[in-house]
Amino acid sequence: MPHFAPVRVRGGRRALHRLVAHRRRALAAGLAVTAAALVAAGPHPGSGGPDARRARGHPVADPVGERHGTRLVAAPVRIADAGTVRLLRPGDRVDVVATGAGGTGDASVIARGVRVTKVPEPEADPAGGALVVVSVPRAAAHRLVGAGTTERLAVTLC
């Protein structure tokens, strides 16, 4: 076999840069089309979707009202601190906490992540607490009524 001179390709570096530039453009165009499709398919504010009535605060990991097959009832709850109730608005998610009536400092969560449905006008006597209506499953409503008769109830915003 005869000896051949080495083969040299001219403009190789330029061709590599051109290839990379075209890939960048194609990737940028693909990302732009994907972003536009996601925006078009996503929920629109004011359309009445699930994000239109989003509650304040952090989302609850396991909200009570969004389990399938759970029937919700409206339960009135008397909160011991009337000032705390003034902070609440319909749509807020709260945890209802029962504290020992004897002042022992023990507290237990009666209902987690329940939605406030109504905050009635406070009564003239703020020492008696204030009323809040929450939407809970029937079993949790029974626990709330039982705890409300023997213990002081409080709420924490979720």
- Mean pLDDT, all residues of the chain: 78
d(CA 100, CA 35): 53
Mean pLDDT of all residues in 149-157: 88
pTM higher than 0.85 = no
Q: What is the pLDDT of residue 96?
A: 92
Query: What torsion, rounded to 10 degrees, do the Cα atoms 74, 75, 78, 84 define?
Result: -50
d(CA 48, CA 84): 29
Among the listed residues 67, 86, 74, the one whose alpha carbon sits nearest the alpha carbon of residue 157: 86
Are 49 and 100 contacting, i.e. CB atoms less than 8 angstroms apart? Answer: no
Instruction: Specify the range with the lowest mean pLDDT, choosing from 6-20, 25-39, 75-89, 143-157.
Output: 6-20
